[in-house]
């Protein structure tokens, strides 16, 4: 029988040949551990940075399933007004995921012939969102303000600069102060996806813009509830008219089912938790781990809780990850296409949950790894 899908095998063979093949690993993430079969591993890839994903909500509702355009449970409005306040914006809107928030909001706000300037390291959801617009897309070199400025022509109609707050694979912060200066000079708008900075940095965890006191200069915030808030979902925050337009035109908001209210209640409970306590613990842990890794000889450039250990070679990165696994540490290897080829890395994300003893154990294992894999 003719196999029309044979070309798929060829693509997969090529992926395997490039050492970038992925297989889903079956296991459970519970608190700071990952359980795979009978092995209990320290989870170094959690997005629950504050370690609050175990805080329970008291409400248990049935799970309903319909678009918010049909009916919108009031609990969404309650969380949205909290999130608007949190971002110091007029209003906010919750989407089913951060990915969908990017797709829906960027596609809605960018109009025909508008110009988008997007950082080359922006997350896949931003890249996909830009492709859905009718704007002209220019990619500027990562965090490179000269390159950004050189790509702005004054005769361009409307210009959007899109950046992440903390870059998800490198853990560095966007050069927001300079971006704001350029945006003011060139009359451009700023869209910032702060999925990894939100609830984690800045005053009261208000995010990357708050860290540099430029929170009022961002025109549209996009974020996730699934990371620093340890919950599920995505949201945007901006002026009332942006939210109104998204309710009316944003395809990934309208043409899909809303999150179950139970999850919104959960996010609300975690929003109201003593996040400052967990944030302080997180930064203590981040500093302890970074100091230990630096002492071992690792080059650590990250300023945030996301700490990449750049290895380069894909195969060696996989072997390093296996070595960690054998030592009860789970830290995923990141390879192409998530990062450029030969730029593979072990991406550590630190959380508030680890004890001093556990961090010391992690440092010891990385310390032995540096000579074993000849990384210095």
Does the footprint of ligand PLP cover residue 99 (CB under 6 A)? yes
CA distances from 332 to 42, 76, 85 (A): 12, 34, 35
Compute how many other C-beta atoms are within 10 angstroms of the C-beta atom of residue 77. Answer: 13
- Which is closer to ligand PLP, CB of 228 or CB of 234? 234
Nearest CA to 238 out of 194, 274, 275 is that of 194
In a 3-state reduction of DSSP, which class is residue 199?
A: coil
C-beta of 97: minimal distance to ligand PLP in Å?
3
Stretch that binds ligand PLP, among 14-22, 91-99, 357-365, 366-374 (CB under 6 A): 91-99
Instruction: Tell me how long the chain is.
Output: 376
Does the footprint of ligand PLP cover residue 123 (CB under 6 A)? yes
CA distances from 34 to 42, 286, 309, 320 (A): 6, 20, 20, 18
C-beta of 188: minimal distance to ligand PLP in Å?
20
Size of the site for ligand PLP (CB under 6 A): 13
- Which is closer to ligand PLP, CB of 121 or CB of 366? 121
Q: Contact with ligand PLP (CB under 6 A): which of 91, 92, 125, 238?
A: 125
Does the footprint of ligand PLP cover residue 46 (CB under 6 A)? no
Does the footprint of ligand PLP cover residue 198 (CB under 6 A)? no
Strands 329-330 and 39-43: parallel
Q: Contact with ligand PLP (CB under 6 A): which of 43, 224, 238, 250?
A: 224
Q: How far apart are CA 50 and CA 283, in angstroms?
A: 10
C-beta of 256: minimal distance to ligand PLP in Å?
13
Stretch that binds ligand PLP, among 77-85, 97-105, 269-277, 302-310 (CB under 6 A): 97-105
Q: Contact with ligand PLP (CB under 6 A): which of 164, 198, 215, 219?
A: 164
Residues in 306-365 that interact with ligand PLP by CB under 6 A: none
Does the footprint of ligand PLP cover residue 210 (CB under 6 A)? no
C-beta of 226: minimal distance to ligand PLP in Å?
4
Residue 235: which residues within 8 A CB-CB, separation 6 or more?
Answer: 80, 83, 92, 93, 94, 95, 101, 222, 223, 224, 225
Q: Are 215 and 88 in contact (CB under 8 A)?
A: yes
Q: Are 225 and 43 in contact (CB under 8 A)?
A: no
Compute how many other C-beta atoms are within 10 angstroms of the C-beta atom of residue 256. Answer: 16
Does the footprint of ligand PLP cover residue 98 (CB under 6 A)? yes
Peptide bond into 337 cis (omega under 30): yes
Stretch that binds ligand PLP, among 92-100, 144-152, 176-184, 300-308 (CB under 6 A): 92-100
Does the footprint of ligand PLP cover residue 168 (CB under 6 A)? yes
- Which is closer to ligand PLP, CB of 29 or CB of 370? 29
CA distances from 195 to 9, 28, 58, 332 (A): 35, 23, 26, 19
Binding site residues, ligand PLP, CB under 6 A: 97-99, 102, 123, 125, 164, 168, 193, 195, 224, 226, 234
């Amino acid at each position: 029988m003719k196999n029309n899908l044979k070309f798929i095998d060829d693509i997969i063979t090529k992926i395997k040949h490039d050492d970038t093949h992925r297989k889903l690993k079956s296991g459970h993430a519970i608190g700071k551990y990952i359980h795979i079969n009978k092995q209990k591993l320290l989870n170094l890839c959690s997005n629950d940075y504050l370690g609050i994903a175990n805080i329970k909500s008291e409400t248990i509702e049935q799970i309903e399933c319909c678009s918010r355009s049909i009916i919108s449970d009031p609990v969404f409005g309650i969380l949205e007004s909290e999130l608007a306040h949190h971002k110091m914006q007029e209003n906010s809107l919750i989407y089913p995921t951060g990915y969908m928030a990017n797709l829906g909001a960027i596609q809605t706000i960018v109009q025909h012939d508008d110009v988008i300037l997007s950082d080359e390291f922006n997350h896949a959801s931003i890249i996909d969102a830009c492709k859905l617009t009718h704007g002209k897309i220019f990619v500027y070199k990562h965090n490179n303000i000269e390159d950004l400025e050189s790509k702005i022509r004054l005769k361009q109609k409307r210009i959007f600069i899109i950046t992440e707050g903390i870059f998800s694979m490198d853990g560095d912060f966007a050069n927001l102060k300079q971006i704001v200066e350029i945006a003011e000079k060139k009359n451009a708008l700023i869209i910032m996806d702060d999925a990894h900075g939100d609830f984690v940095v800045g005053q009261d965890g208000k995010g990357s813009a708050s860290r540099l006191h430029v929170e009022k200069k961002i025109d549209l915030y996009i974020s996730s509830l699934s990371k620093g808030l340890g919950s599920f979902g995505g949201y945007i925050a901006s002026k009332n008219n942006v939210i109104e337009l998204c309710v009316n035109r944003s395809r990934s908001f309208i043409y899909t089912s809303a999150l179950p209210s139970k999850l919104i209640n959960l996010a609300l409970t975690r929003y109201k938790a003593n996040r400052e306590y967990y944030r302080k613990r997180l930064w203590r842990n981040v500093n302890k781990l970074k100091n230990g890794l630096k002492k071992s000889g690792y080059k650590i450039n990250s300023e945030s809780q996301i700490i990449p250990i750049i290895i380069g070679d894909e195969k060696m990165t996989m072997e390093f990850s296996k070595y960690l696994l054998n030592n009860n540490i789970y830290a995923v290897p990141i390879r192409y296409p998530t990062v450029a080829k030969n730029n593979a890395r072990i991406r550590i994300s630190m959380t508030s949950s680890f004890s001093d003893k556990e961090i010391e154990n992690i440092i010891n294992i990385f310390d032995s790894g540096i000579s074993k894999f000849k990384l210095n």
